[in-house]
Amino acid sequence: MNIYKNMKTKKVDVAIIGHGSAGISAYKAAIKHTKNIVVIEGGEYGTSCARNGCMPSKLLISGGNAAKAIRDAYSFGISTHKTEIDDQKVMERVRSLRDQFVSKITNHIENIPKTHKIQGFAKFLDNNTLQIGKDRKVTAKTIIIATGSTPRLLPNFSELGTLGITNEDVFEWKKLPQSVAIFGTGVIGMELGQALERLGVRVTIFGRSGNVGSFSDPDIQEAANHLYHGEIDIFPGAEIQEMVPERKKVHIRFTSMYGNELEQNFDYVLSAIGRIPNVKKLDLNKTSLDLDSRGMPVYDPESMQCGKSNIFIAGDANGEKSLLHEAVDEGTIAGKNAALFPKVSKGSRRVPIGIVFTEPEMAVVGKLYRELPKESFVVGSVDFSFDKRSQMLNKNRGKMNLYIDKKSKKLLGAEMIGPKTEHIAHLLSWAIGFHATLDQLLEMPFYHPTVEEAIRSALNNAKKKI
């Protein structure tokens, strides 16, 4: 008996599963070539980025930094009495601007014709067929998986009940709690941890790797490991002995990297140990796709095509970096290729760039240190302690390493922790994009006094070594 026989079936050229950043841009790219498209969304329309990712986290950070600026003013000769952080107002601002940003995206979604939208969870029946919920079916020439990702949870996290949270819960807080334990020293853990600490929450950050952030350059990693210890209580190599709910708090007993056993209670435990692509429930095993050991489809990052199949994957769903601008590019490439299938072309990908918006900021650009063949490059180094503009701003902490190819003298990549690195990272990523050599870079303007002059110091350092 064929249980699918009586289902309503919709036939389309392109079916897009998921309508976040990647799905939206896939739709925009595909609609240029075919009007026969459907977007299937199981959860809320809109993006992780705007709803509970980059946007609200940067809003929370703005609040945290505003509070920190008051404390920092002292070093300039300016003091204040009694700083009051109105946490309700802080969170209202976060949500109100967040909701504005989200509404711009949902407005866009409302403009998509109703016939192009299906609400429900999709599962593959085969390479061309999706089942939506219980009683609907979509057959499609091509399918784009743009289902996004979900926070990875700590083992036994469910035992904590409502005391165990993720980044998605933080932005719904009407008031700030007194204390939070954060697990994870990556971008989410560090950004939220520092912002909450600056807003008066008692924060402890736990990690397992022993490192703060994740640099591949041991030199920059060491700088990062040191620099945050003056900023926040952080145990990057902690071993958790016990974590149990106890009188509406979570009791954590742990051993530090240096062997000390400590105990603390927290209002909440925030799991920020990574994100999991939302592909588990798609029944990918019903397709012909090659799946890797994690159950992830093997795909080409330049065409977003899974093998030689009619299925494409874009955005967080593919398990690469969770970055909005990459998700948008991937969606655009996937949308175009899905619409024009079987004609599949490679889209151009941008120079990689990653930024953690903490203070000091962390960033990586272009090729990572570990991706470069040893002996093939020199390292141009600068210590921000001696950078004049950074000294003026009282932010002269951090280090940057640039990687210059020995043969071509081209800038290949950089890793850094320091002040204003979101801007430095852009400048360097564009320089890589323009295939700039060391000597060409030294001919660019470096206005005085700006933090950009630190780049020149690093370039001059590399020049000496070449």
Residues numbered 70 to 89 that lie near a second copy (CB under 8 A) are 70, 72-73, 75-89
Residue from 177, 358, 193 nearest 271 by CA: 193
Near a second copy in 361-420, by CB under 8 A = 388-389, 391-394, 420
Among 355, 356, 372, 400, binds a second copy (CB under 8 A): 355
The span from the CA of 38 to the CA of 25, in Å, is: 13
Q: Which of 316, 452, 459, 461 binds a second copy (CB under 8 A)?
A: 452
Query: Contact at 8 Å (CB) between 10 and 130?
Result: no
Q: How far is the CB of 351 from a second copy (least distance, A)?
A: 5
Token couple for 272: 């920020």
Q: How far is CA 75 from the centre of its chain?
A: 33
For residues 21 and 328, the answer to whether their CB atoms sit within 8 Å is yes
Nearest alpha-carbon partner for 105 in 23, 205, 198: 23
Q: Does 93 bind a second copy (CB under 8 A)?
A: yes
From residue 300, how far is each of 3, 331, 433 by CA, in Å?
35, 13, 21
Site for a second copy in 157-176 (CB under 8 A): none
Least distance in angstroms from the C-beta of 140 to a second copy: 30
Pick the closer one to a second copy by CB: 88 or 260: 88
Residue 254 or 403: the one with the smaller Cβ distance to a second copy is 403
Q: Tell me which residues in 431-450 interact with a second copy (CB under 8 A).
A: 431, 433-434, 436, 440, 443-450
Interface positions, 96-155, toward a second copy (CB under 8 A):
97, 101
Distance CA 306, CA 292 (A): 12
| Residues 12-71 contacting a second copy, CB under 8 A | 49, 54-55, 58-59, 62-63, 66-67, 69-70
**φ, ψ at 379 (rounded to 5°):** -105, 120
Q: With contacts defined by CB under 8 A, how many residues of the chain interact with a second copy?
A: 71
Distance (Å, whole) CA 276 – CA 384: 36
Q: Which residue stretch of 146-154, 167-175, 346-354, 458-466 sits at the interface with a second copy (rule: CB under 8 A)?
A: 346-354
Report how far residue 452's alpha carbon sits from residue 390's, in angstroms, rounded to the nearest whole number: 10
| Distance, CA of 20 to CA of 47 (rounded, Å) | 4
Instruction: Compute the least distance from the CB of residue 317 to a second copy, in Å.
Output: 18
What is the enclosing helix (H) or strand (E) of 223? helix 218-227
Q: Which of 92, 135, 263, 371 binds a second copy (CB under 8 A)?
A: 92
Kindly state the tokens that stand for 254. Answer: 């742990």
Comparing CB distances to a second copy, the nearer of 10 and 367 is 367
Please tell me the distance from the alpha carbon of residue 157 to that of residue 240, in angstroms, as a whole number: 13
Interface pattern 314-343 for a second copy (x via CB under 8 A): ---------xxx------------------
Indicate the residue among 179 and 440 with the shorter CB distance to a second copy: 440
Among 99, 219, 222, 422, binds a second copy (CB under 8 A): 422
